[in-house]
Amino acid sequence: MLRTIVDDISNEICKSADLAECVRQLHSDLEFREAAENVSREFCELVESLNTNTALYQKLKSSEITESSRLDDVDRRTLALLLDDFEQSGVHLKDEQKAKFVQLSSEVFNSGARFQENCDRIVSVGKFDQAKYGLPSQIYSPVSNSVDQSKRKMVYNTFYRHDDQQEKYLQKLISSRHQLAQLTGFESFAHRAQRNSLLEDYDNVKTFLWGVVEKCRNSFEKELAVLIDISAQCNQYNIDSSKQAATIADHDLGFLMHLYREKAYDIAKVSRESSQFFTFSSILNGFSTLSQRLYGVQLVEEPLVSGEMWNTAGVLKLKAVDEQMNELGVIYVDVSIRPEKAVGDCHYTVRCSKYLSDATWQMPILVLSLGLVDGHSHMWRDSGISFHSAETMFHELGHAMHSILGRTKYQHVAGTRCPQDFSEIPSNLMEYFISDLGVMTSIIRRSDRPSDQLSVEAAATLLASRHSFTAIETVQQAAYGLYDLEVHGPIAAPQIATGRMTTTELFYDIMSKAMPHVQRSPDSAFQHRFHHTVQYGAKYYSYLVARASACLIWQNRFLDEPFSRKWGDCWAEVQSHGGGHHPAVLLKKILGFRPTEKELTIALSKESQHLANLDAITV
Ligand SMILES: [Zn+2]
């Protein structure tokens, strides 16, 4: 059958190309990285030539009809996704349109790359401002934790100042994407980007995001009131700004939250008390305990064979085994901080789990990369890590487990190869587990004294500090999602493309509606530094959908009984389908219903209501 043959070809390519990509990003030897880059480039060309192979596409397309009686739901969905991949390369277009498609694609790539290069640009500070605010000649970040409000404002607004060059790149990117979408029959790029996603179309996404803003409004204002109170207390000592005591600006938010957390929770003391519990080893063991209780899957360390890994400092190999000690897959974890290693926490599927024609399973191999410890220290396994890093480890291990549990017929939909709003659910759900007081205190144990338990008080303080200002962060994320959606949307995109509107105007408009009590400068252009516009293009919001879905699963299935084997097994079964079914079908299996955008919104607002009751403090 043709779809199986095409999927087998993809599997062979992925097994090499995905490994090359991982080596390119992580290998400690420059020559290996360069060789891997050449391999990656050649694979890109090979894939591109296959994806634009008209004969292959047409054969596959006709098999939709000729083989229709033999197709089940998974076959049909995989076939549709394979065809979609071809169509994303413009294979179905007429020659003239095809040329246009290729030209637009390369414009998208080039303007996106130029834009991204400039996102982290350093800003120079003039001599006058250097002297006035006591600043260095260059600034690298928008954050100033100075008590002087005017200095914070100056640093923030200088860092985020509208940049004409960035605007040009962005304008080109948006314009090319809009034309590309229209060429392939969509109203806008924001419409096109929602294919195969949980919320399915542009309007539902818009309703979801504005729903989050509205439903979180009360909690948001409560949290803001706490910050305004702190701001007023600070301003008593700040003669310049005492007139503005009752307002708050975007450049104040980070600083005031930081101040609140410092004063409200005795973090230094709690960190000292809990440091022995938060090490790389203890968090890894905690995760293994959890997955053993939920799914009967244990992670067992295996010795590294010489030459098996590029680096042995800060790297370990884990074998995932079931209760009968059957091997389910291998995870390499690379947690060392190295200058040449790609930054950012990431997981790589080097080989996916899939059914093979000889009736066996292809054993999955995953690589997790995190920048946590100095790998050269002989104590790296017992190096202390923050609670935030522990959450990140659970998140990335959640992705790895999704691949380990995979049991799909096709590689094209194996494990995490599903729409992003679904692929981020297993990882987000793991964050709910580690953020639960009962779960945390029962699974996180000291490596040297396993019978010791983290005190409930210390755990509660860590969690309270971590989850303070959840409503503000949620509304902010929804607003960024709305910007990313609308900048690619049917109204703004043509206006931006023709210069009738700037992205700065659009961003200001959305932020002012979403966070009306927070003052901002109309010239402030956070979006000129927002990398995600390039990578996610009208889908940045999918993280929020995944979080809302994970929140629903947590609240409905695990909150009362976090170690429920019944629901653990059910969730493992759902994950085994990878992207073989529509996300809504999979969610129905675990929730018992298909969540609408309204239910997702309510889940997030409930959570923020619960967390928004912060006590006022004296600073
Ligand atoms: Zn993730």
| pLDDT tens readout for residues 441-473 | 999 999 888 888 899 999 999 999 989 999 999
Helical pair 2-26 and 54-66, crossing angle rounded to 10 deg: 130
The identity of residue 253, as a single letter, is: L
Nearest to 314 by CA among 365, 374, 368, 366: 374
Crossing angle (nearest 10°) for helices 470-487 and 217-235: 110
Are 74 and 410 within 8 A, CB to CB? yes
Name the pLDDT band for 348 (thresholds 50, 70, 90): very high
- Other beta carbons within 10 Å of 428: 22
Question: Ligand 1 mean position to 146 CA, how many Å?
Answer: 33
CA of 395 to the centre of ligand 1 (A): 6
CA angle 146, 231, 476 (to 5 degrees): 90
DSSP letters, 285-324, are: HHHHHHHHHHHS-EEEEEPPPTTSSS--TTEEEEEEE-TT
C-alpha of residue 368 to centroid of ligand 1, in Å: 11
- Spatial CA neighbour of 333 closest among 293, 363, 366, 287: 366
Q: How far is the CA of 136 from the centre of ligand 1 (A)?
A: 36
The alpha carbon of 418 and the centre of ligand 1 are apart by a number of angstroms equal to: 12
Residue 266's pLDDT band, with cuts at 50, 70 and 90, is confident
For ligand 1, the distance from its centroid to the CA atom of residue 361, given in whole angstroms, is 25
β 248-249/518-519 pair status: parallel
∠ Cα 256 547 467 (to 5°)? 30
**22 Cα to the center of ligand 1, angstroms:** 16
Query: Tokens 């400690």, residue?
Result: 28
Please tell me the distance between residue 392's alpha carbon and the centre of ligand 1 in angstroms: 9
The Å distance, Cα 396 to ligand 1 centre, comes to 6
- The pLDDT of 275-296, averaged and rounded, is 95
Name the 3-class secondary structure at 330. strand
Q: How far is the CA of 485 from the centre of ligand 1 (A)?
A: 20
3-state secondary structure of 116: helix
Would you state the structure tokens that stand for residue 498, as one six-digit string? Answer: 């023709």
Residue 238 has a pLDDT of 55
- Distance, CA 248 to ligand 1 centroid (Å)? 32
Using a 10 angstrom Cβ sphere, with 0-12 exposed, 13-18 middle and 19 or more buried, the burial of residue 443 is buried
Averaged over 538-566, what is the pLDDT?
96
Q: What is the pLDDT of residues 105-120, one digit of tens each?
A: 889 989 998 998 889 8
Look at residue 88 in the predicted model and tell me its pLDDT: 85
Q: What is the mean pLDDT of the chain?
A: 91
246: burial class by Cβ within 10 Å (0-12, 13-18, 19+)?
exposed
Identity of the residue numbered 360 = T
Q: How far is the CA of 416 from the centre of ligand 1 (A)?
A: 10
3-state SS class at 197: coil
Domain ranges of the chain: 123-159, 274-468+543-611
What's the confidence (pLDDT) of residue 209? 97
Query: How many angstroms does the Cα of residue 400 sit away from the middle of ligand 1?
Result: 10
Query: How confident is the model over 465-494, as pLDDT tens digits?
Result: 989 999 999 999 999 999 999 999 999 999
What is the token pair recorded at 577?
């389908």
Q: How far is the C-alpha of 63 from the C-alpha of 3, rounded, in Å?
A: 8
430 CA from centroid of ligand 1 (Å) = 11
How far apart CA 79 and CA 87 sit, in angstroms, is: 12
Residue in 427, 369, 445 with CA at minimum distance from that of residue 554: 427
Domain 274-468+543-611 has CATH 2.60.40.10: no
Ligand 1 centroid from CA 344, angstroms: 11
Would the pLDDT of 245 be above 70? no
The distance of Cα 123 from the centroid of its chain, to the nearest Å, equals 27
Q: Assess whether pLDDT exceeds 90 at residue 174.
A: yes
Share of the chain above pLDDT 70, in %: 98
How wide is the angle at C-alpha 208 spanned by C-alphas 205 and 214, nearest 5°?
Answer: 140
The answer to whether residue 29 scores a pLDDT higher than 80 is yes
Q: Rounded to whole angstroms, how far apart are CA atoms 184 and 88?
A: 9
CA of 10 to the centre of ligand 1 (A): 24
**Ligand 1 centroid from CA 461, angstroms:** 26
Question: 596 CA to middle of ligand 1, Å?
Answer: 22
Q: How remote is the CA of residue 525 from the centroid of ligand 1, in Å? A: 26
Please, which residues bridge with residue 316 across strands?
333
Whether 586 has a pLDDT exceeding 80, the answer reads yes
565 CA to centre of ligand 1 in angstroms: 24
Residue 506 C-beta-side C-alpha neighbours within 13 Å: 28
CB neighbours of 450 closer than 8 A, spacing ≥ 6?
A: none
CA–CA separation, 479 and 209 (whole Å): 8
Assess contact for 40 and 16: CB atoms under 8 A. Answer: no
Question: What is the 424 CA–ligand 1 centroid distance (Å)?
Answer: 5
What's the Rg (C-alpha) of the chain? Answer: 25
C-alpha distances (whole Å) from 232 to each of 218, 252, 618 are 21, 12, 11
Q: How far apart are CA 389 and CA 372, in angstroms?
A: 7
Rounded to an integer, what distance in angstroms lies between the CA atom of residue 319 and that of residue 531?
35
Structure tokens at 85: 């991949």
Distance of CA 343 from the midpoint of ligand 1 (Å): 14
- Residue 247: band (very low, low, confident or very high) from pLDDT cuts 50, 70, 90: confident
DSSP-assigned letter for residue 304:
P
| pLDDT band at residue 310 under the 50/70/90 scheme | confident
